Amino acid sequence: MDITVRESIPSDLPIINKIFNYAVLNTNYNLRIEPRSQEEAQQWFEKHKAENYPILSAVYQGEVVGWASLSHFREYEGYNTTAEVSVYVSKSYRHRGIGTMLLTELERRAKRYRLLIAVITDNNTASISLHSRCGFIPVCTLREIGCKNGEYISVTLMSKKLKNNVI
């Protein structure tokens, strides 16, 4: 399977949003309840680009089949050396190594960060496995911190310390 990972471009945004909204509407892996509008997705995309947070697309035969991004972990300046990781793969392309490709490339581009954080619902065992394979370690579990679809959801924070000396 010939997949390329590249910086996302504006024309990728509708499919990025479609992949994201599939997770929102069909899983408890994301604790958002309502789908993200295209306008909201556009604002998210523009803010990431303006703040130099990467958004990557995995492309197969000209079609975006997955995406990943780095985001603010927290807004306070003291957290500027830490970024939160997001990885989403289209349902029909999962378990083909695309998540690993995206996460590996995100890490390669994370030169200005010392620590990457993944916030993963405990029922998302595939994501926990992916991050473990890529060197993330569990830091803590917040028990029943969220509720979606009538179910209390626990969240595990995983982190990976990078070799970047950013101070």
| 62-71 pLDDT tens trace | 999 999 999 9
Q: Which residue range forms the structural domain that includes residue 68? A: 3-161
Residue 51 pLDDT greater than 80, yes or no? yes
**How many angstroms separate the CA atoms of 73 and 81, rounded?**
9
Percent of the chain at pLDDT > 90 equals: 95
CATH of the domain at 29: 3.40.630.30
Q: Which two tokens stand for residue 106?
A: 């995100």
> Parallel, antiparallel, or unpaired: how do β-strands 63-72 and 151-161 relate?
unpaired
Q: Give bridge partners of residue 115 from the DSSP assignment.
A: 82, 161
Please check whether residue 56 lies inside any domain of the structure: yes
Domains contained in the chain, number:
1
Candidate from 40-44, 75-79, 82-86 with smallest mean pLDDT:
75-79
Q: How much is the pLDDT for 151?
A: 94
pLDDT of residue 164: 77
pLDDT above 80 for 34:
yes
* Assigned domain for 167 exists: no
Q: Is residue 166 part of a domain?
A: no
For residue 71, being part of any structural domain is answered with: yes
pLDDT of residue 121: 97
Whether residue 148 is contained in a domain is answered as yes
In a domain, 25, yes or no: yes
Average pLDDT rounded to a whole number, residues 110-115: 94
Tell me if residue 73 falls in helix, strand or coil.
coil
Q: Give domain status of residue 28, yes or no.
A: yes
Q: Helix H segments across 51-124?
A: 98-108
